[in-house]
Chain A
Amino acid sequence: MQGSLIDTLARQGVTRRAFLKYCATLASMMALPPAAGRAMAEAMAAAKRPSVIWLPFQECTGCTESITRSHSPTLEGMIFDMISLDYQETLMAAAGHQAEEALRHAMKENAGKYLLIVDGSIPLGQDGAYSCIGGRSNVDLLKEAAQGAAAVIAVGTCASFGGIPKANPNPTGAVSVSDLVQDKPVVNIPGCPPIPVVMTGVLAHYLTFGSLPELDDKKRPKSFFGETIHDRCYRRPFYDQGKFARTFDDEGARQGWCLFELGCKGPVTHNACATVKWNGGTSWPVESGHGCLGCSEPDFWDGGGFYKALSVPADPLKFVAASSVVGAGVGAAVGFANRASKNAARSAHETTTLADLEK
């Protein structure tokens, strides 16, 4: 389909005002001044659709599910119409050689200009043989596709930080996109899965301003990952008052008190769940009574137990230590540190608690 975005949207029954309203909200979520909503709407309405290539590596398709199944009819989904998605194995009709031909064609036609979206980590073990597409290893495909890309967007925790495939003992030697791509701008949109509006927000920013949004030290957009879950949690007042749920069915849990002692990783997790919420703003983990798992932080899977409170005085090794160490080569060290902390926790515990089940 050709033409500007507003025409495409109009064909789908999205009016200009509906689009303006969406842009106002998007600008608000991205912490841009209110006037930016209008600028965004004008720029995006007129924007020609850039080519986007989406490569899936060691992943579970949860990230694709997140964006395609955001509440319907979905403006997030419609925003996907503002890009020309030239290759996406799960969504495209073509298969086999035809699909690979589409990829080659898109890369050649839009060399230097296309956006590359990657979900899933990249295995380096056994020369990358653990995950191949069309007989070629993921690492090979990524290097080739990244070469002609304007920027690379790592969607999900696996692509951003290695995620679950990289979890101790990392059998496939999985690494993140930014471990391999160093000469192109990389944006990480972690989360397991990531919040749909964060993905569209980054795309909208690129289309509006022709640049990527401001990033934090882990290459995450500051507007969505600038604050912790804890900072914006509606249960925060209970934390400040020292009111904690101690089990999942005690009085505190029923009263909706803070889930810190039940292992909530909110204080060390940067993400927008507390403000944007999930399923069309219906709810989010803490609102449904479960602590945050910290899924948008590096090595969240090896954080020492989802139900273990963050700072237990007897345990000097905290999740923070694991999450603040980033970069290639430290994975093993973190793994050992976690093992040490687990052993310490195991010997410190006398009774069997929920936390033990996590070991």
Chain B
Amino acid sequence: MARDSIPLHVVPPGEPGLSGNAPPLLRELLERVRRLLDDGESSAIDLSALPLTPADLAWLRDKLGTGEIAVTLHAHGESTLNETGCPGIWWVTHRNEQGAVMSQFIEAAFVPELVKAHPRDVLTGQEYLESMISGC
């Protein structure tokens, strides 16, 4: 039986749901961007570890805006690594195969670590290219 056929409708509490926990994160991000520029140190904020409501997250997303680059990773469910309107700040969402959000981060980095190819994997690619050339 589909869940929809059960007449149970969960009504979210009426409030707009802003907890006030989101605005301080902007300052935190400013600090992290500063560190990125000064020392080249990338870092991340784990959003699931913070008491943020869906409305807080929507507020943050809205404030940070959308940037030029949107990366989609297909690996055991879809992940999106999207640049925000502030270059160097990325909104990273990991989903499982069912499409449920498993974890969510805001990363301060020139390029998110996950986007870069690992040298070991590049090596595998190199071997593949060589085998193709020798096979010609």
Q: Do A and B bind each other?
A: yes
Binding site for B on A (CB under 8 A): 14-18, 20-22, 24-25, 28-29, 31, 33-35, 38, 71, 73, 75, 237-238, 241, 253-256, 275, 277, 280-282, 289
By a CB distance below 8 angstroms, the chain A residues around B44 are 34-35
- Contact partner of A256 (CB less than 8 A), chosen from B9, B79, B98, B100, is B9
| Closest B residue, CB atoms, query A21 | B94
A272 CB, min distance to chain B CBs, angstroms = 12
A25 to B79, CA, bound (A): 12
Q: Is there contact, CB below 8 Å, between A254 and B94? A: no
Q: Is there contact, CB below 8 Å, between B43 and A18? A: no
Q: A18-B76, A21-B114, A34-B46 are in contact. Are A254 and B100 (CB under 8 A)?
A: no
- Chain B residues numbered 101-122 whose CB sits less than 8 Å from any CB in chain A: 102-103, 105, 107, 113-114, 118, 120-121
By a CB distance below 8 angstroms, the chain B residues around A289 are 8
Q: A31-B49, A34-B43, A280-B96 are in contact. Are A21 and B79 (CB under 8 A)?
A: yes
Range, interface on chain B: 20 to 34
By a CB distance below 8 angstroms, the chain B residues around A35 are 43-44
18 contacts between A and B (CB under 8 A): A14-B76, A16-B121, A17-B75, A17-B114, A18-B75, A21-B76, A21-B94, A24-B103, A25-B103, A28-B48, A28-B49, A34-B44, A35-B43, A255-B10, A256-B10, A280-B98, A280-B100, A282-B98
B109 CB, min distance to chain A CBs, angstroms = 11
Q: Is there contact, CB below 8 Å, between B100 and A75? A: no
By a CB distance below 8 angstroms, the chain B residues around A22 are 76
A15 to B76, CA, bound (A): 9
| Closest B residue, CB atoms, query A15 | B75
A28 to B44, CA, bound (A): 11
A277 to B62, CA, bound (A): 28
B134 CB, min distance to chain A CBs, angstroms = 23
B98 CB, min distance to chain A CBs, angstroms = 5
- Contact partner of B102 (CB less than 8 A), chosen from A20, A25, A253, is A25
| Closest B residue, CB atoms, query A243 | B13
B22 at the interface (CB under 8 A from A): no
By a CB distance below 8 angstroms, the chain B residues around A33 are 46
B136 at the interface (CB under 8 A from A): no
- Contact partner of B8 (CB less than 8 A), chosen from A18, A253, A280, A282, is A253
Q: A28-B46, A71-B98 are in contact. Are A255 and B75 (CB under 8 A)?
A: no
By a CB distance below 8 angstroms, the chain A residues around B73 are 17, 21
By a CB distance below 8 angstroms, the chain A residues around B102 are 25, 281
- Contact partner of A25 (CB less than 8 A), chosen from B9, B13, B94, is B94
Closest 10 pairs (CB-CB, A-B): A256-B10, A18-B75, A34-B44, A281-B100, A25-B103, A237-B13, A28-B103, A25-B102, A18-B76, A17-B75
Q: Is there contact, CB below 8 Å, between B11 and A256? A: yes
- Chain B residues numbered 5-22 whose CB sits less than 8 Å from any CB in chain A: 7-11, 13, 15
Q: A25-B103, A34-B44 are in contact. Are A20 and B49 (CB under 8 A)?
A: no
By a CB distance below 8 angstroms, the chain A residues around B52 are none
By a CB distance below 8 angstroms, the chain A residues around B38 are none
A195 CB, min distance to chain B CBs, angstroms = 14
A158 to B45, CA, bound (A): 37
A30 CB, min distance to chain B CBs, angstroms = 10
By a CB distance below 8 angstroms, the chain A residues around B76 are 14, 18, 21-22, 73, 75
A296 CB, min distance to chain B CBs, angstroms = 21
* Given A20-B113, A34-B45, A71-B98, 5 more pairs with CB closer than 8 A: A15-B75, A31-B49, A34-B44, A35-B43, A73-B76
B97 at the interface (CB under 8 A from A): yes
Q: Is there contact, CB below 8 Å, between A255 and B11? A: yes
Q: Is there contact, CB below 8 Å, between A282 and B100? A: yes
Q: Is there contact, CB below 8 Å, between A38 and B9? A: no
B77 CB, min distance to chain A CBs, angstroms = 8
By a CB distance below 8 angstroms, the chain A residues around B120 are 16
Q: A21-B75, A237-B13 are in contact. Are A254 and B46 (CB under 8 A)?
A: no
Q: Is there contact, CB below 8 Å, between A238 and B13? A: yes
| Closest B residue, CB atoms, query A27 | B46
A21 to B115, CA, bound (A): 11
A214 CB, min distance to chain B CBs, angstroms = 16
A62 CB, min distance to chain B CBs, angstroms = 23
A307 to B105, CA, bound (A): 39
A281 to B9, CA, bound (A): 19
| Closest B residue, CB atoms, query A197 | B102
A297 CB, min distance to chain B CBs, angstroms = 24
